[in-house]
Structure 1
Amino acid sequence: MKLQELKNVFKNRFTVKVIAGVLSISMIATGASVYSVYAEKTQAEEVQQEKEETVDELVDKESNTVSEKDIEKEETVYVLSNASGKAKKTIVSEHLLNKDKKDSIEDKSDLSNIKNVNGDEKFTRDGDNLKWEANGKEIYYQGTTKKEAPITQKITYKLDGKEISPKELAGKSGKVTIRYDFTNNTSFKEKVNGEDVEVCVPFAAVTGLSLDSKFSNVEITNGKLVNVGEKTMAIGYALPGVKDSLGVTNNDFTGDVNIPNYIEVTADVKDFELEGSMTAVVNAASLMDKKTENNSDLDSMVNELVDATNKLQNGSKELSDGIGTLDSKFKEYASGIGVLQNGIKEYTNGASKVADGANTLNNGVKTLASSLPALSSGLNQLASGVDQAKAGSDKLISAYSGNGTAQNPGLYNVTQQLKQGLASFGPSITASIDNSLNGVFAKVNEALKAYNMSVNEQNHTQVINAVVGNLSQQLATLPTSGMSPDQMAVAQQKIITTIASLEQAEGAINTLQQTKQSLSQNEGIGKLQAAVNGIAQYVGDANTPNSLYGGTVELSKGLGKLQAGTSTINSKVPELLNGVNKLTNGTQQLANGSNTLVSNNAKLNNGVDQLNNATGQLTVGIAKLNDGSKQLSDGIVKFNDEGISKIVNSYNGDLKPFANKLQAMLDASKDYNSFAGISENTKGNVKFVYKVAEIKK
């Protein structure tokens, strides 16, 4: 029958629906299931075969493949690509079945970096020949390859009708078109009516995209749209290379029949971002029953369509049951959110206690500062000051150990800082001051990495002022940034906190430099240092945090030593008092920061309350999805009764030459059972999963 005669037959009959349906109808449902359950591991290199609802199992479950007992090698190829569809890495996961419990399994593979992913069984390699020490077990291994997959994809993007790169599209708004073009790179020669005909392996590709609420007015060419809560699932399918192998074009079919080689999604988008997409590619021969693969009779294909639809009907029932399980398990997750909510409340209560401790520490340092002027009145007044220091130290016991954080460092750490600060009065501690400066510079430089700037002792004021000015400009422009009120509040707080930190760092640097200069010519510091050592002993150390009594004794000894140098010390007391006042400012900032932390407790509690409420709403949504899956199952039954049955009953016409070409493709398809290699006389099957990278701002 000539092509023109075929056109006349196709105009009024369902025959082409039978042919296209065999290759695509089952794949639509299969692809939806694949996209719903497949999740890439955090590290792509660790892709492993799971035993429940993996890509392998879903494709096998929804199609008429050979029975599991006849398969000796199952292969899944994961192609990881960028947002334009260009492959970056190909990982192949192999499963060697061992139904006879053999001690060793011989295999063939051209993969690199082979490793066992589900056991510790070893293998030896001779070229592409592998020998696994199975010990009666099945083998799961993976490797990598640089070979090109049989199906390649090209993804193009348009914004308001003009092509644009994925990177440039991120964050844009307008009419967006995403197109997937698939190319079939396979070619085999088969006999058709006594002549050699070049055909491809008829792969079927199903692509899934999850579109959030930023996408509206979504349309799809060669696919289906499914609403899932606030998201839209776009499921598209293509049969690349099939039309060319059959020698037909879309003009040869009626308007409702198509054998596409591309998928196109169009939508109005605000602030474009895309989570990425997933494409499952399977050999069309895996959609056929074993007895039908070698039958060129179109009647057998019609029977196969009936069988495939029945299995699709069974699969929809399994999907409904699976979503029912999700419904019950999500309730357990919702219960966990309630536990998290209680934990957040405990955390905010703890933050309040930290703020109380910081205020207590600040008051204690102020008490210490008020006792220092007594040094100028002589040894008798010094003794009185010791008594005051004793009274103040009793108040500091509760905050002595601290928790090691900047908000509550502990009284021991504060006294050590005071000790180091006093030690810096003498020329001998110049190196210590330099170390402190270097420490401050290091922390400031770490904060300035984002601005590609750094400070040193000479330029710190200039650089910090420049960055503070830049941040101030950012703060002033936030109201026009398009952020939500909550986002703007977070951004403002972050900028204000950064400015305050930089200004505090600049003050610390100036203080250290001034101290270093003012002490370079001072005398008598050694005696003052001895007194400070006595204070440090009075407080205690980290190994004996509760030894206040022993510290008091040591402090008394230190104060005794102070008597000999009272006159010298008294002349330096104003400088000492100035340093303590600066320390007081630091503890005040610590107290203020702790109070700021407490002030955010309400927002944190409100946030977790909103999460808890949203989880409740999602629970309701999953329940609705459960109801929808049941309706889908019922719809498949109706589709089988009212759709496929009518197609089969309406089948008529002489399409033998066309069917023979299709059979030639299936013959080529039947022989394609591995990508990375397979031993002779070994039965296997292969699937491909393409993961496209996300597009983010």
Structure 2
Amino acid sequence: MNKKLEKAMALGILSSMLFSNTALATASIVNKSETVYVIKENGQNKDKIVSVWLNSDQGVKGQDKTDLKDIKNLKSDQKIKEENGYIHWDESSKDVYYQGKTTRDLPVDLQLDFYLDGEKTTNQDLKGKSGHLKIVLSAENKNYVIKNIAGKKTKVYAPYVVMNTMSFDESVASNIKAENSKVVKDGKNEVISSVLTPGLTENFQDLLEDIQMEDFKNQVTIEMDVKDYQPIESYAVISNELFQNKANIKSINELRDGIQKLQDNAQKLVDGSMKLTDAQEKINHGIQDMDGGVQKLNKGSQELYDKSGELENKVGEVIDKVKPIPGYAKKMAKGGDQLSSGISAYTSGVGKMNANTGKMKDGARQLAQGSRDLDNGLGQLKGATSQLRLGSKKLEKMEGLKGDVAAKMGALRKGIGQLSEGASSLEAGIGQAQAGANILANANGDLNNGIQKINSQVQAISLPAGPGADMAGQVQNIVEKSSSIQGSANQIDQVIGLLREIDDPKAQAAIVSLSGSSKNIKMAAESIQSSGKNLAKGMGNSSSGNLGQQVQALQVGMDQLATSSQKLNEGMKNYPNKFDALKDGAAGLKHGADRINQQLGQSMQDLDGKLDTSELMQLAEALVKLDVATGQLKDGSSKLRQGTEQSEQGVDTLADAIAELDSNSAKLNEGANDLSKGLNEFSEKSIMFNEFPKLKSQGITPMRNGIHELNSGISSLGDGTIKLKNGEEILTLSMKTFSEKLAEFKQKGIDELDRKTKDLPETKEIIDTMSDLAKKDTSFTGSSQGFKTKYRIIEKIK
């Protein structure tokens, strides 16, 4: 162990021995022991920290006065609250330990001066130098009062004893001479201990002879020869406890003898305390707790080592599963590009279809107008044939009816002609709509191909737990883009709703199939959104253990989307064929109208040129049949009129829906492009997974090796704790021995003077004043009622 540290601890033990709290206090008294730790460098105090130990057999209770700052509990994490300069204690524990910082000036100022070959220098500047070294240790007492003694004002200094020690390696220092100090060899070190009594010389300088005060020293001088000097650290303990009990002194010589004995005992204390490593009170209890903690720590570190081995194996398994991720990501990115191209073709087809809806609407309007004219003409014809039928019995007036019938038939022929023109326009519009439907079917085929390719890539994914937050971001991107697919499915639903207006059994069957496929697409898209969100969440928190299930759910949802897309694609393939029936119907309507028109023309010629009285009876029978046929034709034309009007409304609605679908094509294209971009970014970033094996080689394995070394060190610490416990027992014995020696000095030195002071009244008054000053200076941080306080100062000088 570092000898300098041993010296510091030795002085701490010395102070504890001097000021150990006794167990003789009453139940209402709390013993307060303060230790002030000071570090002095280049003549300046750098740090001043006070450690406080409160002790009471009945528990620590009361108002503890203190001026410390930044107070911390040394025994637990419990915060200490200070209010108005007091700490309120209500503890069942017998002991409380805390510390804080102080700004209070020290009552004694220590100074260490160095002279090499007669020239003043510093401790640090001496490093590596050789020559004759002189060290001067001085102590200045700053605590005094001015009192009227024997009729004159006298400055009386408070009594302090300074016990200092410093150590030099024998290879560095030789020929050591130290006045009023003890030099003891400790192994390869020369240990010098000194006792100073700053202010005692001034207190008795007019009362005692020089020979009587030769042991009262404010400074000591140490000389030696040094070679390749190494800077030292000096340790000192400052205390006034010896003077706090009232003493009637008669003999200064007895006081001098007592100080010499104190110096001898101080050296014995230093010799014994160098074997110890801790100067704290209650050390035995602390070591026992430490021993138990070390055992638990040893057990825990072994478990940590075992678990780190399992972690190392698991990381190896994860590395194997992570390796294929970049390849999968590349394939997914390629599928995303194909999907984007398919959606682009799909939206292009919707645009072309939207461009042709105007012609289809015109044809539907012409068809509706022709059917209305046809129905009106047939109505008029039916009225005329009814009148002919009623008037067939009045053959003599047939010549008068001839002109009326011809006029009615002319109007009928005109209406049929308009019907034929409307049928022609309808046929042309249906042809254009069929062309748009073909484009839509082709685009949907490309879209389906893209979905199928993405599905194949998704089904091939086999991700390990915790692939990383980057992948989670890309999966979130896929989730957002899947909403575009769901929106497209909703638009397809709108178109399907309009197509339901078509009055054709085969068309309706196809529409029902398309509707089912669209519904499946929406459900699959919703499933992908839900699974994708869970997957992204799982990737952000790989410890949940559900990432594999979430990937599986995403694969199921994507498979459902692919199945629905396939069904929709098959339905769209047959959809353009449904227009063939409409075209055939329109062509048949035109052909029938042309035939009726031709027959009406022939009939009008026959009516004008061949009608005579001899044939009236045959004409009457023909008129009856004509009336019946005309009625049937009128019923059919009414239904045709109703159907064409509904068809016109349906075409308008369909055209509006297609226009709306076309208006959303840009968003669909944008979504597909974003999806493709996101997948490509994911593919680029997935290359980072190639660095994942370094986690094991550069992280887990070195960590496990370090844990193994820590485990070995903890085992050694446990052995050292046992030795430390044995050393503590030696400390306890040393403390007891020193306390006995200190009591012996007090009895034979100061107390013995109580019987010899009658002839020294002035000296007695000064001694009493010194004792009063010591009694008033029992605490460095503050004392209050119910607290018995003592303090000591431990100062390290660099």
Please give the TM-score of this superposition, normalised by the length of structure 2.
Answer: 0.37
